[in-house]
């Protein structure tokens, strides 16, 4: 079976979040399931550097010339949408150097969706997908364009985070090539604006998100971001499939819990933390309200007051950055680094005793999976994929010798503080802590099961029943 994955980012070429990890890893994982998946990415400078193969002209596309250029994404085929007027610029995939959204983002990712639809309708050099796998709002206009081209190709839209919907003013309907008759409450109209994500959710043959619990949460107003009614109406084609991680890229530099100690000492030294008889907790995250890091600020005394320490790597909201900078300046057991450093994140996973993920909502989450892989015990909010991947160290979980981490609920600073106190208590029981680490390191976090689930979903759409 041939499938085209359409995404706005993918490792190792471009990454701002977990979407890139999934888009980069899934094609290789699906190959073992008999799915030949190729990937379409925007032609950012880093992507074009990897696209050195044949070029296929697309003509005028949203204000300038465009073409598809072939390259490699790991062991699979890459198509880069080479449209310099849209993608050859400094800054990030979505934001300019000033930190603001590119004003032409609606056109940029409409072009990505249109290129995907062209591949679905016409193929490339004789290769034509049997199915389209569309990631988030940036690819979600593809089903609308496929219909306009008269092509019938099954589509799956994967929601990585419903908070991002790709909104555009209604005045852009014609500029984006969207039929005016589709701009209704049953179509892609969203509170007077165009919603690219809603367009995909209305027209896709299947919808999935990145954990079973998040799929259920999206049917509730608290989590559905105004699309819960639509998703309830389409619940028959909605499912949750957990993300996996690249277990080779995230292999710990030790085979058993006993090997972690020297990496913990090295991490303390790298972050300028003093020796301690308590656990070293880490955070690797965007500093945003969603991630619950304001709650961690309030709960920090529960960690450091019981002998724990914090090493943080991240960036985000200026107020949160300033607050954590102040916390580090006032407490020698707190150290922070702002920005993102892939190599440092690996050293933190190897050296941390616990990883804190206090998210208010979390579609899947990957850092807790990296933590499990390294025996770095996750402390997580009971939501989304965090609920699906961590087995709580409750009395029952401990008695069954199955626990892999700590969960807390509701998502408040007080409950997080209680979890941090429990973390230091568990850490002080060394035999129990070693068992938690062994359980965590043995927990399956790879793509095997999830790739099989994706392949089954794809085959159900392509193969007549």
401 a known binding residue? Answer: no
Q: Which 3-state string (H, E, C) describes the chain?
A: CEEEEECCCECCCECCCHHHHHHHHHHHHHHCCCCEEEEEEECCHHHHCCCCCCEEEEEECCCCEEEEEEEEECCEEEEEEECHHHHCCCCCCCECCCCCECCCHHHHHHHHHHHHHHHHHHCECCECCCEEEEECHHHCCHHHHHHHCCCCCCEEEEECCCCCCCEEEHHHCCCCCCCHHHCCCCCCEECCEEEHHHHHHHHCCEEEECCHHHHHHCCCHHHHCCCHHHHHHCHHHEEECCCCCCCCCCCCCCCCHHHHHHHHHHHHHHCCCCCCCCCEEEEEEEECCCCCHHHHHHHHHHHHCCCCEEEEEEEECHHHHHHHHHHHHHCCCEEEEECCCHHHHHHHHHHCCEEEECCCCCCCCCHHHHHHHHCCEEEEECCHHHHHHCCECCHHHHHCCCCCEEEECCCCHHHHHHHHHHHHHHHHCHHHHHHHHHHHHHCCCCCHHHHHHHHHHHHHHHCCC
Q: Which residues are annotated as a binding site?
A: 15
Annotated binding site for ADP-alpha-D-glucose: 15
């Amino acid at each position: 079976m041939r499938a085209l994955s359409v995404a706005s980012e993918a490792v190792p070429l471009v990454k701002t979040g977990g979407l890139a990890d999934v888009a980069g890893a899934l094609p290789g994982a699906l190959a073992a399931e008999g799915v030949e998946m190729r990937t379409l990415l925007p032609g950012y400078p880093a992507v074009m550097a990897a696209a050195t193969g044949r070029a296929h002209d697309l003509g005028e596309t949203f204000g300038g010339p465009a073409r598809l250029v072939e390259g490699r994404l790991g062991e699979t085929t890459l198509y880069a949408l080479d449209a310099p007027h849209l993608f050859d610029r400094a800054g990030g995939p979505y934001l300019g150097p000033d930190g603001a959204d590119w004003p032409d983002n609606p056109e940029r990712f409409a072009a990505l969706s249109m290129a995907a639809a062209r591949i679905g309708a016409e193929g490339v050099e004789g290769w034509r997908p049997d199915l389209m796998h569309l990631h988030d709002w940036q690819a979600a206009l593809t089903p609308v364009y496929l219909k306009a081209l008269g092509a019938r190709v099954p589509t799956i839209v994967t929601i990585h985070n419903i908070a991002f919907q790709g909104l555009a003013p209604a005045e852009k309907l014609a500029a984006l090539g969207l039929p005016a008759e589709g701009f209704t409450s049953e179509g892609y109209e969203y509170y007077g604006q165009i919603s690219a994500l809603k367009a995909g959710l209305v027209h896709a043959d299947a919808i999935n998100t990145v954990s079973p619990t998040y799929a259920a949460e999206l049917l509730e107003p608290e989590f559905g971001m105004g699309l819960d009614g639509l998703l309830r109406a389409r619940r028959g084609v909605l499912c949750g499939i957990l993300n996996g991680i690249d277990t080779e890229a995230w292999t710990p530099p030790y085979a058993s819990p006993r090997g972690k100690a020297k990496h913990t000492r090295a991490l303390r030294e790298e972050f300028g933390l003093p020796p301690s008889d308590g656990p070293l907790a880490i955070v690797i995250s965007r500093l945003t309200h969603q991630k619950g890091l304001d709650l961690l600020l309030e709960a920090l005394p529960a960690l450091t007051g019981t002998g724990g320490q914090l090493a943080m790597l991240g960036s985000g909201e200026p107020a949160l950055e300033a607050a954590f900078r102040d916390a580090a300046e006032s407490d020698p057991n707190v150290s922070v680094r702002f920005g993102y450093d892939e190599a440092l994140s690996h050293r933190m996973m190897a050296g941390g005793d616990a990883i804190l993920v206090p998210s208010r909502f979390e579609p899947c989450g990957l850092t807790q999976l990296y933590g499990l892989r390294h025996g770095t015990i996750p402390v997580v909010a009971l939501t989304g994929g965090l609920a699906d991947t961590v087995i709580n160290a409750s009395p029952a979980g401990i008695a069954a010798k199955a626990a892999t981490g700590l969960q807390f609920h509701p998502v408040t600073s007080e409950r997080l503080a209680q979890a941090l106190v429990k973390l230091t208590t568990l850490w002080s029981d060394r035999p129990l802590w070693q068992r938690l680490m062994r359980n965590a390191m043995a927990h399956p976090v790879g793509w095997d099961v999830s790739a099989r689930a994706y392949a089954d979903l794809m085959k159900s759409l392509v193969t007549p029943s």
